[in-house]
């Protein structure tokens, strides 16, 4: 793994916008606009290096599924903050019926520096992961233009289309598959991601419709979710976290009708409710409990930092159980006094992101169904990868 600099292509901004990345620039607090898509640099990997990372990702995914099974079988959903019996029942039932329910994709965030040490799992977003479009499309076309004949860890598009084809029989008949995002998405990231995923479903031959979450209605007479034309919504892909779906004003209706598409009046939601088990930071602590000392895991706990905050400890990071783009994450350097936060958190060993020429890098490794499918790289200026992170393309040479 090596970071190299390169001159950006003339007209790069319009090029990536035409390829689906609708926000190539990020507005900073000083009101300046700086590249989010940053092709002034790129990362180089060797093929054996990528093949080894693929094996790590698929092993981690299998371990996460085993941890999810453990949480359900040992009735530990409260450790994830899932204390509403109706939500717990929905998650449990979805897990038990997971073979019948479409489940599409997820993204691991990994610490890796290419120095020969193992990649370390930082977290897993398997419910509402973003940064998909830039990983699947613009960076592939960038590679073809800048390094013709080279390769890239990127089979995302083909695998997504194939996944929809494979899972089409699981969708209830008689209506389109809706693709929904929140209209409150100011940046447009969720809209862009949902539009791209709808495109992959279209290419798989599915009938699809687009809708905003705010336009989904509830028919009180039929007790069904309906679109703006009062058509029954039999299935819906939503880029809308389950923790919101089960707590907003429609939550009672969601939970009342949630038999995951198996009966009259129900709506099949993609991702399924069991994905709440994988997108919760408590998963990190359960993994460490089940696989202590695993080379691709970091020590993590739910009751406090334990030895991570003791003299000689490596420091720790406190992560809220739910959150996106580093929100609420705090970094506690070695030697800092132990602090147990009031809100439920996961306390994970501090593994500072590797520094490449002043840039802190995190690998976003994609899984489609159960297979490693691609890589997206983000850089930040600090230890926390936040909304000001930059996307950097990569190539296998």
| Range of the structural domain that residue 197 is part of | 2-279+355-396
Q: Are residues 203 and 334 in the same domain?
A: no
Residues 131 and 262 in one domain: yes
Are 269 and 308 in the same domain? Answer: no
Same-domain status, 310 and 272:
no
pLDDT at 264: 52
Within a domain: 35: yes
Q: Specify if 291 maps to a domain.
A: no
Number of structural domains found in the chain: 2
**One domain for residues 313 and 380:** no
Residues 338 and 249 in one domain: no
Same domain, 21 and 123: yes
Q: Examine the domain organization and report whether 273 and 137 are in the same domain.
A: yes
pLDDT (tens place) for every residue of the chain, 397 residues total: 999 999 999 999 999 999 999 888 887 877 788 889 999 999 999 999 999 999 999 999 999 999 999 999 999 999 999 999 999 999 999 999 999 999 999 999 999 999 999 999 999 999 999 999 999 999 999 999 999 999 999 999 999 999 999 999 999 998 899 999 988 876 788 999 999 999 999 999 999 999 999 999 999 898 899 999 999 999 999 999 999 999 988 898 898 766 544 445 689 999 999 999 999 999 999 999 999 999 999 999 999 999 999 878 899 999 999 977 667 899 999 988 888 888 999 999 999 999 999 999 999 999 999 999 999 999 998 888 887 899 999 999 9
Q: Do 343 and 359 sit in the same domain of this protein?
A: no
Report the pLDDT value the prediction gives residue 325, as an integer from 0 to 100: 66
Domain co-membership, 161 together with 272: yes
pTM above 0.85, yes or no: yes
Please indicate, yes or no, if residue 231 is contained in any of the structural domains.
yes
Asked if the structure places residue 295 within a domain, the reply is no
Kindly state whether residues 245 and 345 are assigned to the same domain.
Answer: no
Q: Which pLDDT score, from 0 to 100, does residue 93 have? A: 93
Asked whether residue 15 is domain-assigned, the answer is yes
In a domain, 106, yes or no: yes
292, part of any domain: no
Q: Is residue 60 part of a domain?
A: yes
Residue 329 and residue 186 in one domain: no
Encode the chain in three state secondary structure: CEEEECCCCCCHHHHHHHCCCCCCEEECCCCCEEECECCCEEEEECHHHHHHHHHHHHHHHHHHHHHHHHHHHCCCHHHHCCCCHHHHHHHHHHHHCHHHCCCCEEEEEEECCCCCCCCEEEEEECCCCCCHHHHHCHHHHHHHHHCCCCECCECHHHHHHHHHHHHHHHCCCCCCEEEEECCCCCCCHHHHHHHHHHHHHHHCCCCEEEEEHHHCEEECCCCEEECCCCCECCEEEEECCHHHHCCCCCHHHHHHHCCCCCCCCCCEEECCHHHHHCCCCHHHHHHHHHCCCCCCCCCEECCCCHHHHCCCCCCEEEEECCCCCCCCCEEECCCCCCCCCCCCEEEEECCCCCEECCEEEEEEEEEECCEEEEEEEEEECCCCCCCCCEEECEEEC
């Amino acid at each position: 793994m090596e970071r190299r600099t390169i001159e950006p292509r003339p007209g790069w901004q319009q090029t990536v916008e035409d390829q689906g990345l609708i926000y190539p620039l990020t507005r900073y607090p000083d009101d300046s606009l700086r590249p989010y898509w940053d092709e002034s640099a790129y990362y180089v990997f060797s093929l054996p290096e990528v093949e080894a990372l693929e094996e790590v990702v698929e092993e981690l995914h299998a371990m996460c599924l085993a941890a999810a099974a453990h949480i359900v079988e040992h009735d530990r959903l409260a450790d994830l903050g899932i204390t509403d019996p109706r939500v717990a029942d929905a998650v449990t039932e979805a897990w038990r019926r997971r073979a019948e329910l479409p489940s599409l994709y997820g993204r691991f965030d990994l610490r890796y520096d290419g120095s020969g040490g193992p990649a370390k799992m930082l977290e897993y977003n398997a419910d509402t992961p973003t940064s998909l479009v830039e990983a699947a499309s613009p960076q592939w076309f960038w590679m073809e233009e800048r390094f013709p004949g080279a390769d890239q860890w990127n089979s995302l598009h083909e695998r997504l289309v194939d996944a929809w084809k494979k899972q089409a029989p699981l969708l209830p008949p008689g209506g389109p598959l809706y693709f929904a995002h929140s209209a409150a998405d100011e940046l447009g990231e969720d809209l862009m991601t949902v539009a791209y995923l709808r495109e992959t479903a279209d290419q798989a031959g599915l009938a699809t419709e687009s809708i905003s979450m705010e336009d989904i209605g509830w028919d009180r007479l039929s007790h069904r979710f309906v679109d703006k034309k009062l058509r029954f919504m039999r299935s819906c892909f939503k880029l809308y976290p389950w923790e919101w779906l089960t707590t907003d004003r429609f939550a009672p209706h969601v939970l009342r009708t949630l038999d995951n598409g198996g009966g009259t009046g129900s709506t099949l939601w993609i991702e399924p409710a069991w994905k709440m088990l994988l997108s919760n930071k408590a998963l990190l602590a359960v993994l460490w409990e089940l696989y202590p000392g695993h080379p691709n895991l970091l020590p993590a706990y739910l009751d406090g930092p334990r030895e991570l905050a003791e003299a000689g400890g490596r420091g720790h990071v406190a992560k809220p159980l739910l959150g996106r783009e580093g929100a609420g994450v705090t970094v506690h350097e070695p030697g800092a006094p132990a602090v147990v936060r009031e809100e439920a958190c996961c306390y994970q060993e501090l593994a500072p992101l590797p520094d490449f020429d002043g840039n802190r890098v995190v690998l976003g490794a994609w899984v489609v169904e159960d297979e490693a499918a691609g890589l997206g790289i983000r850089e930040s200026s600090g230890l926390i990868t936040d909304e000001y992170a930059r996307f950097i393309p990569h190539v296998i040479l």
